Structure 1
Amino acid sequence: MKHDFLNSSEQSALKDWYDSLDHNRAVRARLRRAEDPEDILLTDAFFHFLNFMPEMFPKELMENKWQFSEKQRFYVIASIAGLLSHVKQNNEISSFAKQLAGTGKDRAPMSELRFQQLLKSPNHTDFYRRMIRAIRLLNGSVNVISLANDVIQWFWEHEQKESDRYPSNRLAVRWATDYFTALPKNID
């Protein structure tokens, strides 16, 4: 079962903000220069993101709906803004994990080893850097909504003290299922 953390109006607002980056290159550049979510928190581009969508990430929603601490809430928002600044084209054809495996290509954009490393990211900084690498391997053509929902779920799972009791609800299992079922089969 896929977690959709963003409702339809939030998805629409996120797409609008993403589209606005084409007209605001300075904001995109500031976000791209950040090495991790903490760097993003110190930029005016982050506050531009918050101002663009105040209804999307209100404190009450993030704490009640997704049970994030205030610190974690800002890392989630900063990560989404920063990662989307690296996306060149919104490609809604398939999920983010399926895109990492490639569709109909001879070779997957992301190797199995790098994919496993991404799945096992121990902290938000490592996860953020590996996600940037993944976006680059896809030449910036990424499903924006899938990416945002997956980032929220990654943070949500790392904030929780226990895992979802249904493995199919966990991000790593869903990603592995999407990735390995879409992975091109080597024909010898």
Structure 2
Amino acid sequence: MSEASEADSSQEWLVVDDQELKSLAALSLDEAVAVRRWWQRLALSPVELKQLTPQPGLPRGVRAALRRCDTPDAALLTQAFRELWHLLPEATVESPFIEAQLEKWSCIALVLAELRNETPGKALAARLGQQASTGKPIMSELRFQQILTCRTPEELVQRLRRALALAGRSEMSAVRLADVVALWWREYSGEISARPTHRFGFMLANDYFGAAASYRHEDT
């Protein structure tokens, strides 16, 4: 490996650390790096962004236009999606299943556009299972179960957008959020992991009920 390649690899590990990478079930390292770099440019203020990367942020209206999209097809036509697509590795954008890749990544873009602030490493479901001011989880078990049973991409995007609104659009990892969407898509396409711990339902339920158990146990 050349010195330049080693430097690039080192930079990737700074963007997505080893612990976060190990938590991923459906994204590659290159995809995870692209997701975080894109989200940072999309959502962070110039001051925040300058501390993380020399890359300029995207115009504010770019994110707003993506958030106004109601469908994955509409998201495909936005500048925000094009910026994400151009950051993705060649193996992704040159896939023989290009139509499915485009729809999957448009769903990822739609969901990530709702995230205002992130906590690297923290899972969406763990955030939803946190204790709210009512003493109950931020998202009720009934609504959480509805995420687990989504049948269409449109339904998944709709429910995840609602979940992010309930969670204050903050305190979760952009990379892990994208991984949730990618994992759902993998199973939607008929690819079920042989490892139960890398399946959509198990991963989300484990994070959600694990977070809820931490304070429910204290109350007993």
**What TM-score do you get using the length of structure 1 for normalisation?**
0.84
Pick aligned residue for 1:157 from 187, 199, 217: 187
Q: Which has the higher contact order (CA 8 A, sep 6+)?
A: 1
2:36 corresponds, among 15, 19, 23, to 15
Q: SS in structure 2 opposite 1:110?
A: coil
Which of the numbers 41, 46, 69 marks the counterpart of 1:34?
Answer: 69
Match of 1:71 among 99, 102, 109: 99
Mapped to 2, the partners of 1:13 and 1:168 lie a distance apart of 25
- RMSD over equivalenced CA pairs, Å: 2.4
1:112 aligns with 2:141: yes
Structure-2 separation of matches of 1:104 and 1:93: 21
Alpha-carbon separation, structure 1, partners of 2:69 and 2:114: 11
Structure 2: segments with no counterpart, 5+ residues: 1-21, 45-56
Identity in percent: 28
Return the alpha-carbon distance in structure 2 between the equivalents of residues 103 and 7 of structure 1. 32
Verify: 1:181 aligned to 2:220, yes or no. Answer: no
Distance 1:33 1:126 in 2: 16
Letter aligned with residue 29 of structure 2: S
Q: Does 1:88 align with 2:130?
A: no
User: Number of paired residues?
Assistant: 180
Where does the alignment leave 5 or more consecutive residues of structure 1 unmatched? 64-68
Aligned to 2:4: none
- For the pair shown, which has the larger CA radius of gyration, 1 or 2? 2
- Structure 2 CA distance, aligned partners of 1:45 and 1:137? 24
Secondary structure of residue in 2 paired with 1:185: helix
Q: Report the equivalent of 1:66.
A: none
In the TM superposition, residue 57 of structure 1 has moved relative to its aligned partner by 6.4
